[in-house]
Structure formats: structure tokens, C-alpha cells
Amino acid sequence: MNRYLAEVFGTFWLVLGGCGSAVLAAAFPDVGIGLLGVAFAFGLTVLTMAFAIGHISGCHLNPAVSIGLWAGGRFEAKELLPYIVAQVIGGLLAGGVLYIIASGQAGFDAAASGFASNGYGEHSPGKYSLTAALLCEVVMTAMFLLVIMGSTDKRAPQGFAPIAIGLCLTLIHLISIPVTNTSVNPARSTGVALYVGDWAVAQLWLFWLAPIVGAIIGAWVYRSLLSSDHD
């Protein structure tokens, strides 16, 4: 149970820290942190939690990561459902806290502002198409899993994986925020989309499908082509 609770707290921190920076601080007058700040906020949530709970649960914080690690032979299938449920709960709790905070500002409208939700077409920050969004999320998540599996390989330098993984997530956001607002994490997407409803929920399917497909591809590539053991 402590592993599942660790995933709840970890995913809570990821969504609150990452999406919170986008909703509350990205465009704050005169001192807004902008795209660069939001990208680093997401990376820092993973970096800090990897050191805090990595020894407890592995610090997945992401259904796609859990599924990818299973596909890569690093995680047991029987643990997938409890981990995914814990991650989604953590994301929803963070979304609720963020919604209460954000709604304290006069004129706040979650649907109009987007509330850091992921989207494509008219709801993409750069108005990118469904095809562009799908490809972007698949490729970014595949590379994320490649870095996760490589940095946690027994042959890799020990103790540095959280840094590599956190910086990788930062880089992913720097690339793909304009395309989809960056998901690569179904729990992160669900955690804010349900508070927006409407278009955010209607487009949520993509941000489950694409990250999971990408994670499986990335894990398979590492396990098949780069791992020292292929069993």
C-alpha cells in the first residue's frame, strides 16, 4: 500500500507543480515564467519526487511509464492497475486543489483559459492538427521511456537517473508545449481535463492512446536493441 500511496503523492505533485505553474504563473503580469518556466516546473516535479519516492514505488507518476516499463520487462503486470488508479487519483486531487486556487481570481473560467489541458486543432496552443499532435505525443513518450530505461539500467552510472529523467521531461516540454500543451502522461491530462469538461474531455482519448503507444514503442526499442539482456 505504501507504494500506491507514494504514486498518489508523486502524481499529485507533478500535476500541481507542472500544471499549477502553467495556470498560475506562466503569464502572470510582468514576472510570468513563460514556456521555459513551465517546462522546468514539470521537470523539477519529477526530479524531486524521484529522489523522494523512487526507493518506494519507482516514481512512475504516469500510466504510460508503468505500461512502458511492463513492456520493457521492468514491471509486473499485476501491479499495473493499482499503479494507474493511484496515479489518476493523484492527478485528480491535484487538479481539484489547483481549480480551487485558480477560481479565487476574479473572472476565472476553466473552459476559456484551458486550465492547462491538452488539446489539438483549435485547442492546440499553436493550432496543430490531430495528426501532428498524435505523432508528437507518440515520439516524445517513446524517447521518454528510452531515457528512463537507459538511465535506470544496471550498466548506467548509479544515482543519476532522476536528473536525466527530470531534464528529459523538461526538454520534452520545451519541444511540444506549442503542439499539445504536452501530455506524455494520461494522469496529468485527466487530472485537469475533468475540471474543464467539454472539449478537454472530448479530446482526452488522444492523450491516453498516444502516450501509451509511444511508451510501448520506446520500451520495446530499448529492450530489443540496447539492453544487455534480451529475455
User: What pLDDT, in 10s, does the model give residues 134-192?
Assistant: 999 999 999 999 999 999 998 888 889 999 999 999 999 999 999 999 999 999 999 99
CA distance 202 to 192: 13
Taking the C-alpha atoms of residue 172 and residue 131, their distance in angstroms, rounded to an integer, is: 18
For 105, counting Cβ atoms within 10 Å of its Cβ (0-12 exposed, 13-18 middle, 19+ buried), the class is exposed
What is the model's pLDDT at position 188? 97
Own/partner contacts of 130-133, CB < 8 Å, gap of 24 or more, are 130/206, 132/179, 133/179, 133/180, 133/206, 133/210
- Where residue 29 falls among pLDDT bands split at 50, 70, 90? low
Q: What is the pLDDT of residue 90?
A: 97
Neighbours of 28 (CB within 10 A): 11
Least confident of 47-51, 61-65, 115-119, 222-226: 222-226
pLDDT at 215: 97
What is the distance between the alpha carbons of residues 71 and 207, in angstroms, rounded to a whole number? 19
The residue to which cell 535506470 is assigned? 152
Q: What is the pTM of this model?
A: 0.92
- Alpha-carbon distance 174 to 183, whole Å? 12
Give the pLDDT band of residue 2 (cuts 50, 70, 90): very high
Pairwise CA distance, residues 186 & 61, whole Å = 10
Q: Is 107 exposed, middle or buried (0-12, 13-18, 19+ CB in 10 A)?
A: exposed
